């Protein structure tokens, strides 16, 4: 991978992080798909400068993954609460028909 490609991958990672911070997961997904081939072309041997950029990309990925997990957990909680409210209303209506 050339230094320009690695710089591009880092830039895309930063854009992914910004999209995730805004909750724009569709944009983040598109950026991940664009970045993936760049990362897949990495060679095993890297310069210390390149390794630092790769570590930065990894830190960004970890942060975005944590944001995604937190969002997923919030949605799961909201879903469970909504289901509970629906069940409560159904029970209320069923009791009212007795």
pLDDT in tens, 30-52: 999 999 999 999 888 899 999 99
DSSP 97: T
Looking at residue 1, what is its pLDDT?
A: 55
Nearest Cα neighbor of 43 from 54, 56, 32, 34 is 54
Range of the domain at 34: 3-96
Task: Please tell me the total count of domains within the chain.
Answer: 1
Phi–psi pair at 27, nearest 5 degrees:
-65, -45
Looking at residue 3, what is its pLDDT?
A: 81
Model pTM score: 0.79
């Amino acid at each position: 991978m050339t230094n320009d490609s690695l710089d591009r991958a880092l830039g895309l990672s930063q854009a992914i992080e910004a999209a995730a911070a805004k909750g724009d997961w569709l944009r983040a997904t598109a950026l991940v798909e664009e970045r993936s081939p760049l990362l897949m072309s990495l060679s095993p041997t890297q310069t210390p400068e390149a390794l630092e950029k790769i570590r930065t990309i990894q830190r960004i990925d970890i942060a975005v993954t944590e944001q995604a997990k937190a969002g997923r957990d919030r949605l799961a909680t909201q879903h469970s609460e909504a289901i509970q409210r629906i069940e409560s209303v159904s029970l209320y209506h069923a009791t009212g028909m007795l």
